[in-house]
Amino acid sequence: MSEEQPFQERRVAPLSQEQLAAITKDVLSAVLSKENIEAISKAAAKEVLESVYIEIGKNVVKKAFLIVGALVVAASLVAAKGDKILPLLKELIS
């Protein structure tokens, strides 16, 4: 039986951002064409924009429901005790 060699840890100097970008570009260009990379970029940008529009829409709907809810509560208060609330509202407005 042969004895196994103990594992030797090798330390490698960390890569700079420029080196990482160059390596990534080389790997991607070897795997994907420039057209493929552009298509992926456009699709990713479209997805991001759609998600932003969805979030904006959700916020607009939430605020609209909040305003409608406040108006319903105010209308129900006026309907229930209008003779007491309306003079107070007129006094606050003037």
DSSP string, 13-69: PPPPHHHHHHHHHHHHHHHS-HHHHHHHHHHHHHHHHHHHHHHHHHHHHHHHHHHHH
Give residue limits of the domains in the chain.
17-93
pLDDT of residue 36: 84
Q: Give the mean model confidence (pLDDT) for residues 33-56.
A: 90
Q: Is residue 11's pLDDT more than 80?
A: no
Q: Give the mean model confidence (pLDDT) for residues 66-83.
A: 85
Q: What is the pLDDT of residues 12-32, one digit of tens each?
A: 778 888 888 888 888 877 787
Q: What pTM value is reported for the model?
A: 0.46
Q: Who has greater pLDDT, 6 or 74?
A: 74
CA distance 65 to 67: 5
Q: How confident is the model at residue 51 (pLDDT cuts 50, 70, 90)?
A: very high
What are the structure tokens assigned to 36, written together? 């493929």
